[in-house]
Amino acid sequence: MKLNFSYDGNIAVKAILQEQLEHLDIKFQLLDLGQIEIGDDVSEQSFTTLQTNLKKYGIQIVDNPKGQLIQKIKDAIIEIVYDKEKFPNITISQYLSDKLNFRYGYITNFFSEYTHTSIENFIILQKIERAKKLIMEEELTLTEISHELNYSSVAYLSTQFKKVTGLTPSLFKRIVVKRREMTNND
């Protein structure tokens, strides 16, 4: 039997972190996306075990300041792309500047220098990932999805979707439906 599922990556990561930290009896508090405050000193052995356990899930502890800032930028972009309702009247550039306390020009230059891609490209990739999830959930039309992701039109969403995935959103949706049909027939 095959099961189809969807998930929220942020919730999954928080659950994994909580499980692993509690297992090692480390006192902690979940802060913003991508940050945890550790209550007590953690032994080197516990820290190494935590790193090893988290690595199994593709989660890495970022311990250098540049890597931390890059992760904060990525997390802030993901937050605004996935939770638009919290930020109805703010641009991504303004949100990043306010959240990170840096000028947007500095943020974009820093991000590009260390990731070798632009913030704009990262935003597009996140929007397309979100569009794919929304298409697979089959609850919204392409018009509603383009509105949800702040695209000016379905055509603009389709252009970026095809540029990133090689498929139009409509073709992607047909493939998803066909695979579900094949799975349900098994």
User: Using one digit for the tens of pLDDT, what is the confidence trace for 52-70?
Assistant: 888 888 888 777 788 888 9
Amino acid at 185: N
Residue 128 phi, psi (nearest 5) = -70, -40
pLDDT at 2 over 80: no
Using pLDDT thresholds of 50, 70 and 90, give the confidence band for residue 6: low
- The whole-angstrom separation of Cα 9 and Cα 28 is 20
* Closest C-alpha among 45, 91, 35, 46 to residue 68: 35
**Residue 31 DSSP label:** -
- The whole-angstrom separation of Cα 90 and Cα 84 is 10
User: Is it true that domain 127-185 has CATH number 2.60.120.10?
Assistant: no
pLDDT tens-digit map of 133-153: 999 887 888 999 998 888 889
Listed by start position, the domains of the chain span: 1-61, 64-116, 127-185
Q: What is the pTM for the complete model shown?
A: 0.71
Tokens of 154: 């379905």
